[in-house]
Chain A
Amino acid sequence: MYRYDNYDQQMLQDRIAQFRDQTRRFLDGELESSQYQPLRLQNGLYIQRLAPMLRVAIPYGCLSSRQLRKLAHIARFYDKGYGHFSTRQNIQFNWPKLPEVPDILAELAEVEMHAIQTSGNCIRNTTTDQFAGVAPREIEDSRPWCEIIRQWSTFHPEFAHLPRKFKIAVCGTEQDQAATQVHDIGLYLTRNFTGDLGFQVLVGGGLGRTPVIGQVIREFLPWQHLLTYLDAILRVYNREGRRDNKYKARIKILVKELGIDAFRDRVEAAWDQGRDGPATLTEDEVRRCKRFFTDPPYESLPDHNAAVAAALATDVRFTNWHDRNVRQHKRPGYRIVTLCLKATGSAPGDLSAEQMDFVAELADRYSFSELRVTHEQNLVLTDVRLQDLPALHAALLREQLATPYTGLLNDMIACPGGDFCSLANAKSIPIAEAIQRRFDDVELQKRIGEITLNISGCMNACGHHHVGNIGILGVDKKGEEFYQVTLGGSSDRKAALGKVLGPSFAQKDMPEVVDKILQVYLARRTADERFIDTYQRIGIEPFQEHVYATTH
């Protein structure tokens, strides 16, 4: 993992002092609410329905056990004993007290964490694939590049007040688990025909009110030019992005209005200025950043273990968990293990302080003290020895963290929704729970197979509903909460936006609606077809016919 040096640490201390003073001025009445708002937002502090909400950055999803213990402490001491992992690989605390937030930031700084730019109209936390560095057949480890972008984007003076928020994702794995194409900038690590490393650059993707898949602005950007090229894109956006209407202020609208070719021309013209200038990356800097992400001291292990084989032959619970939550690792004898935070009855992505401490302990014991946070709101132990799987599974069972549903229906994404969020039109958590209860059966889940179900409580789309195979969006109809369903969304390398099924449904009907959708799929699929494959083959009409034929 990246470790701070004196420069990084100093910047954090300066920020805490600055924010402490801003908060004091606000509380003393020296700073108007409208002036304080953008400042607190750029420190991840929202004012929500019931209390402020503090969003803490987990840069590109990498977390140490020491950091997780600190998060547990903050949850216990300053909050109500839990935290919520978001789709942006961050963690949110729902009940901090405003005057205590500077103290929380000081505590976070002790473990090299912060809330900088986790909200507001600025460049947000850079995200990536949770399996970076350990996935088999990786093109290139994205983490050093994310760290380079993190530093470039932190307090970038020119881009402190953009038209709107700005999100960058980097992906270096074959399977894109970072939803790269629905980010303001998506960067795919790639090699050109001579084997040189660079990025395919996408721009103008995003969800929200106007969901758009990003378009390629540059097929191959040599790595040296990463930062000067990002500067150029951001400069064009900062100057020309719309500021008259916050719903049209994201870069996707600018790219759409200009067209990708005209937008590219402007970026190239801006890039002419910075290209080959001092912000050009050096081999020394890349080497320095890569040194933080070298392999842990792996053992030479066989890729077979008798105890695991025996457990797979005899223990159904272990087998179910293994099938869904354990993945191949780049090293023989090691596995990647996902902790699915979707136990029925707890909000997706929520983790109690006790569970955090427990997971930190497991990371120490089984995974070189490191973890990852996924955009599907799960946690990952990246480097578990094959032989440790049975013991790890047993431990996870004790804390309700062995839910065997990773990648299945109940592994759903949901935003905090109307229970907490002041933007929401409708609740998300009770919908997620009702669906989870209805389908909480491992054999049924297995029979349905791989599927994504994403729920957002409003069109801001924090729950990524547009790119769920099944998407659920909370809408307000004359003061009542209704839910619109989309089908066919996907956020992998073949990203697609879901299509609206039809008129929206009442909350109580939602489990039934999902059931009907799945009935069509199960009746129509061929042998190995996933839900998305069947959908793409048969289209939306059979689903519409079945769902609306019986509910209306």
Chain B
Amino acid sequence: MPQLIDVLGNPVENPWLSLAKDATLEEVRQSSDKLLLLPFQLWLAEKAALLATGKTFGVWLDSDQSCELLAGDLGLLPLVALNFPTFMDGRHYSSAVVLRQQMQYDGDIRAIGDVLRDQLFFMKRCGFSSFLLKDSVKLEDAQRGLRDFTTSYQSTVEQPEPLFRRRA
């Protein structure tokens, strides 16, 4: 089981069942799980029927899917997961920033996919609040990765005041 950690690096339970990109409404109906993380396509196509099941949903976006597509739905979604097909695909750093700053999303933004320790610090600064670590990543290493740097220059989601406004 991949380890889930929160923004402080604490290990947390993962109650969400994640469904694959080609998942169907039927799978959702038949699932005994109450918390389901859906691929965006399914959410888009079957929103009304999904809501009628009474379950709670999150949505995961692939790196070529724009978070603006969730504009009207964020109030219904306690979790948005952003998938990194490879850690070198940096599109979702911007998605997290847009979700937080532009779309005012205050639910959980989770990094999933190729989530390695050396990117965690940057993800955290962009507004990610949980990280589903790749199997190969050890918990202590991830915790260290979240603290790679003591301070930073830029205005970010985590710390909107840039260093030049904080410099003593």
Chain A interfacial positions (CB closer than 8 Å to B): 5, 7, 10-11, 14-15, 18, 22, 35, 38-39, 121, 151-152, 154-162, 227, 235, 238-239, 243, 273-274, 277-279, 281-282, 284-285, 288
User: Which of B3-11, B47-55, B144-152 makes up part of the contact surface?
Assistant: B144-152
Instruction: Determine whether the beta carbon of B151 is less than 8 Å from that of A238.
Output: no
Q: How far is the CB of B83 from chain A (nearest CB, A)?
A: 14
Beta-carbon contact of A151 and B153 below 8 Å: yes
A-B contact pairs, 14 of them (CB 8 A): A11-B153, A22-B118, A121-B88, A152-B162, A155-B149, A155-B154, A159-B93, A160-B90, A161-B119, A235-B94, A238-B90, A243-B89, A281-B164, A284-B164
B97 at the interface (CB under 8 A from A): yes
B133 CB to nearest A CB, Å: 14
Residues of A within 8 Å of B95, CB to CB, are 239
**Contacts A158-B156, A162-B90, A279-B155 given; 14 further ones with Cβ under 8 A?**
A11-B151, A14-B148, A18-B118, A18-B149, A121-B88, A154-B153, A155-B153, A157-B122, A158-B122, A160-B93, A161-B90, A238-B91, A284-B164, A288-B164
**Minimum CB–CB distance for A2 against chain B, Å:** 13
The 7 closest A-B pairs by CB, nearest first: A161-B90, A157-B122, A279-B155, A157-B125, A285-B164, A151-B153, A14-B149
Q: A35-B87, A161-B88 are in contact. Are A273 and B156 (CB under 8 A)?
A: no
Tell me if B31 is interfacial: C-beta within 8 Å of chain A.
no
Q: Is the CB of A157 within 8 A of B126?
A: yes
Q: 0/1 per residue, B131-168, Cβ < 8 Å to A? A: 00000000000000000111111111000111111010
Q: Is the CB of A278 within 8 A of B160?
A: yes
**In the complex, what residue of chain B is closest to A228 when comparing beta carbons?**
B155
A14 contact set on B, CB distance < 8 A? 148-150
Contact B150 A11 (CB under 8 A): yes
Given the known A-B contacts A157-B93, A157-B122, A159-B93, are A10 and B150 also in contact in the complex, defined by CB atoms under 8 Å? Answer: yes
Q: How far is the CA of A398 from the CA of B160 in the complex (A)?
A: 55
State the B residues within 8 Å of A (CB). 66, 87-91, 93-95, 97-98, 101-102, 116, 118-119, 121-123, 125-126, 148-156, 160-165, 167
Contact of A160 with B153 at beta-carbon distance under 8 Å, contacts A239-B91, A282-B164, A285-B164 already known? no
Q: How far is the CA of A159 from the CA of B92 in the complex (A)?
A: 10
Closest to B123 in A: A157
Cβ contact within 8 Å between B155 and A277: yes
Give the docked Cα–Cα distance between A11 and B152 (Å): 7
| B122 in contact with A152 (CB, 8 Å) | no
Which residue of chain B is the closest to A120 with respect to CB atoms? Answer: B88
Which of B89, B101, B163 counts the most chain A CB atoms within 10 A? Answer: B163
Known: A38-B88, A121-B88, A161-B93. A279 touches B148 (CB 8 A): no
Assembled-state Cα–Cα distance A279/B163 (Å): 9
* Complexed CA–CA distance, A162 and B160 (Å): 22
Roughly how many angstroms separate A284 CA and B163 CA in the complex, as a whole number? 12
- Assembly CA distance A157 to B155 (angstroms): 10
Interface of B is mostly: loop
The answer to whether residues A158 and B164 also contact, given A152-B154, A279-B154, A279-B155 and a CB cut-off of 8 A, is: no
- Chain A residue nearest to B167 (CB atoms) is A7
B101 and A160 contacting across the interface, CB-CB below 8 Å: no
Closest A residue, CB atoms, query B97: A158
- In the complex, how many angstroms separate the beta carbon of B120 from the nearest chain A beta carbon? 11
Q: Which of A10, A38, A155, A235 has the most CB of B within 10 A?
A: A155
Closest to B125 in A: A157
Q: Within the assembled complex, what's the spacing in Å between the Cα atoms of A155 and B153?
A: 8
The distance in angstroms between the C-alpha atoms of A10 and B95, with both chains bound, is 29
Is A152 in contact with B118, judged by CB distance below 8 angstroms?
no
Which of A5, A157, A227, A243 is packed against the most chain B CB atoms within 10 Å? A157
The smallest beta-carbon distance between B86 and chain A, in angstroms, is: 9
Q: Which residues of B contact A274 (CB under 8 A)?
A: 101
Contact residues in A for B66 (Cβ distance below 8 Å): 239
- Shortest beta-carbon distance from B105 to chain A in Å: 14
Question: Chain A residue with minimal CB distance to B138?
Answer: A30
Q: Which residues of A contact B102 (CB under 8 A)?
A: 273
Q: Which residue of A lies closest to B155 (CB)?
A: A279
Q: Within 8 Å CB of B90, what residues of A?
A: 121, 158-162, 238
* Closest residue of B by beta carbon distance from A156: B154
Residues of B within 8 A of A11 (CB): 149-153
Most A CB within 10 A of own CB, among B88, B89, B163, B165: B88
Return chain B residues, CB-CB under 8 Å to A273.
Answer: 98, 101-102
Pair B94/A239 contact, Cβ less than 8 Å: yes
CB distance from A294 to the nearest CB of B (A): 19
How far apart sit A10 and B168, CA to CA, in the bound complex (Å)? 15
Known contacts A35-B116, A279-B162; is-contact A157 B152 (Cβ 8 Å): yes
- Determine the chain A residues whose CB is within 8 A of the CB of B154 once the complex forms: 152, 155-157, 279
Are A157 and B121 within 8 A (Cβ)? yes
Taking CB atoms, residues of chain B closer than 8 Å to A158 are 90, 93-94, 97, 122, 126, 156
Bound CA span A15–B153, Å: 14
CB-CB under 8 A from B116, the residues of chain A are 35
B residues near A239, Cβ cutoff 8 Å:
66, 91, 94-95
Residues of the B chain whose Cβ atoms lie less than 8 Å from the Cβ of A15: 149
Look across to chain B and name the residue whose beta carbon is closest to the beta carbon of A277: B155
In contact, A238 and B150 (Cβ under 8 angstroms): no
Complex: A282 Cα to B162 Cα, angstroms: 11
CA distance A524 to B54 in the complex (A): 85
When the two chains form their complex, are residues A238 and B148 in contact, meaning their CB atoms are under 8 A apart?
no
Which residues on B sit within 8 Å (CB–CB) of A279?
154-155, 162
> Does A160 lie within 8 Å of B149, measured CB to CB?
no
Determine the residue in chain B with the shortest Cβ distance to A21: B144
Q: Which B residues are in CB contact (< 8 Å) with A155?
A: 122, 149, 152-154
